[in-house]
A and B are shown apart, each in its own frame.
Chain A
Amino acid sequence: MNTNDKDLEALSALMDGEVQDLELRRLLVSVGSDTELRARWRRQHMVREVLQERRLANTGIDVSAGVAEALSDGSSVGRGPIWSVAVAASVTLAVVMGGQQLLVPEDSVVTPFAVSELGGVVVPVGGAQPIQASLDTQSVPLQVQQSDLNNRRSVETAALYERLASDRYRKLSERHSAASAPIHPAPYITHARAAELADESLPDE
């Protein structure tokens, strides 16, 4: 039995709901490149139809290529407006959080984060202020010297985190666009189309 026969046998078994998941996965890969498999699948269903009903539905119609072409433009299954809102919200949250960290005044004393248990080691956490861990895990802020040296370091640190936040925002934006693009042809049309989708009366099951 050659590979093609294996696929054809699997196709036959698929008609009867008798294929395993792994086999189905392999079969679907083959279907993508083997037009004979697709034609066979269609004919087998026609045979079943005439055997059981002694009649045949409209055989002069073939929309499969048109459907595949239309869907391949935005092939992922629509996740709906909620998904888009969730992605947008996560981007917004990231921007707000990143921005808050950058807006810390240089001369302010920041309430420290929880300190790691590395005794006596200065651990920069969250990009805010350097803090020192104590052995009993109590948070102990370092005394912030208002010297010129520290000011310069603060400015450099702020610039560094600004770059990091900017990179993070860009990456999240890219993810958002990538997630939205298959569903909607243009970015940020997402929410405008939500109302349109709601108007389309999809049937209840």
Chain B
Amino acid sequence: MRYSEDRIVIYRELFAFAAIIIGDGCPTKRAPGYAEQGKDAVVTGSDTDQQLVQRAQRGELRAFDLLVLKYQGRIGTLVSRYVADPGEAEDVTQEAFIKAYRALPKFRGDSAFYTWLYRIAANAAKNHLAAKGRRPSADVVIEDVESFEQSDLIADAGTPEALAMGEELYKVVESALAALPEELRAALTLREFEGLSYDDIASVLGCPVGTVRSRIFRARDAVDERVREQLEGSSGIR
């Protein structure tokens, strides 16, 4: 584990050094969907969302399906904070996604898709409780949600089981990363931790963009193999 964290530091230094060599100080152009959060870089994937949302707005259910697969865990976690019963929480989560799809024509892209989806889910959960004459199962305040994308609430794993699962999976991923060949790990690390675009990674690593894309894919492929084994052996993940 320590090994991997050291590697991340090394790649950050490598990136900074390469930026100087490139000559314009720093290739400040970040990848689509990249956002700064305090000192840490976070890849949000909002550009991917935008592509999928635009297609879903044209009626492509498969594009919306990918958004559901991407966000159902987080939305489910949010809903579970309101609705204690797992079955009801799943129903409300499903209802939230259906409402979001129906309302897609009203989504103009002024905010991130997830921000918008989050609000729909929170409203659905509150309405569900109101209809049942109940109060939220947790002390959740979402009225002031302007900055909730940076809030821990969104990423909150919720249950201790989910937290343990996350920690376990983190170890597996870290171990898989450490076992990657150098060039694959470099490409994936620069993407996931620095949020660099493929163009910038190509500049840093001195290889064609197509090679970057291929390396990132092969790195993810290798990590996925380990993750899949882990998840299949886990009863908590369907």
Stretch of B9-17, B19-27, B91-99, B131-139 that contacts chain A: B91-99
Q: Please, which residues of chain B bring their CB within 8 A of the CB of A18?
A: 31-32, 197-198, 213
Q: Categorize the interface residue count of chain B.
A: 35 or more
Binary interface encoding of chain B residues 188-199 relative to chain A, with 1 for a CB under 8 A from any of its CBs, else 0 = 000111000110
Q: Any chain B CB within 8 A of the CB of A195?
A: no
Which one of B48, B98, B107, B158 contacts A58 once the chains associate, using CB atoms below 8 Å? Answer: B158
| Chain B, residue nearest A62 (CB) | B238
- CB of A181 closer than 8 Å to a CB of B: no
Contact pattern, A 141-184, Cβ under 8 Å of B = 1, otherwise 0? 00000000000000000000000000000000000000000000
Q: Are B101's CB and A60's CB within 8 A?
A: no
Instruction: Assess the A42–B69 pair: CB atoms within 8 A.
Output: yes
Name B's interface SS. helix
The answer to whether the Cβ of B6 comes within 8 Å of any Cβ in the partner chain is no
Q: Is the CB of A56 within 8 A of B165?
A: yes
B106 interface residue per 8 A CB criterion: yes
In the bound complex, CA of A50 to CA of B223 (Å): 12
Distance, CA A38 to CA B104, complexed state (A): 22
Given contacts A57-B76, A58-B158, A59-B162, is CB(A17)–CB(B173) below 8 Å? no
Q: How far is the CA of A200 from the CA of B106 in the complex (A)?
A: 13
User: In the complex, what's the smallest C-beta–C-beta distance from A147 to chain B, in angstroms?
Assistant: 57
User: A9 to B237, Cβ gap below 8 A?
Assistant: no
The reply to whether the CB of B206 lies closer than 8 angstroms to some CB of chain A is no
Q: Please, how many angstroms separate the alpha-carbon atoms of A76 and B60 in the complex?
A: 8
Interface size on A, residues (CB 8 A): 59
Decide: B198 and A16 in contact? CB cutoff 8 A. Answer: yes
Would you give the shortest CB distance from B228 to chain A, in whole angstroms?
Answer: 6
Cβ of A34 to closest chain B Cβ, rounded Å: 11
Cβ B198 vs Cβ A200 within 8 A: no
Q: Which residues of B contact A47 (CB under 8 A)?
A: 169, 173, 220, 223-224, 227
Q: Are A9 and B48 in contact (CB under 8 A)?
A: no
Residues on B with C-beta less than 8 A from A50 are: 166, 169-170, 173
Say which residue of B119, B157, B162 sits within 8 Å of A203 (CB atoms): B119
Bound-complex Cα distance A29 to B65 (A): 12
Q: Which residues on the A side are within 8 Å of B165 (C-beta)?
A: 56, 59
Kindly identify which residue among A12, A13, A31, A63 contacts B72, using a CB–CB cutoff of 8 Å. Answer: A63
A64 at the interface (CB under 8 A from B): yes
Shortest B208–chain A CB gap in Å is 14
Whole-angstrom CA separation of A67 from B60 in the bound complex: 13
Q: Which residues of A contact B159 (CB under 8 A)?
A: 58
Q: A56-B169, A63-B93 are in contact. List 13 more A-B contacts (CB 8 A).
A: A9-B217, A15-B45, A17-B47, A18-B213, A32-B62, A47-B223, A55-B163, A57-B155, A57-B156, A57-B158, A59-B236, A60-B76, A67-B65
5 cross-chain pairs, A with B, having the tightest CB-CB distances, nearest first: A56-B166, A17-B47, A203-B119, A17-B32, A61-B76
**What would 29 A/B residue contacts be, using CB atoms closer than 8 Å?**
A12-B220, A15-B48, A16-B31, A16-B33, A16-B197, A18-B198, A28-B66, A45-B45, A48-B192, A49-B73, A51-B173, A53-B155, A57-B74, A57-B76, A57-B77, A58-B157, A58-B162, A60-B76, A60-B236, A61-B72, A61-B89, A67-B68, A67-B97, A77-B101, A77-B104, A203-B116, A205-B108, A205-B109, A205-B116
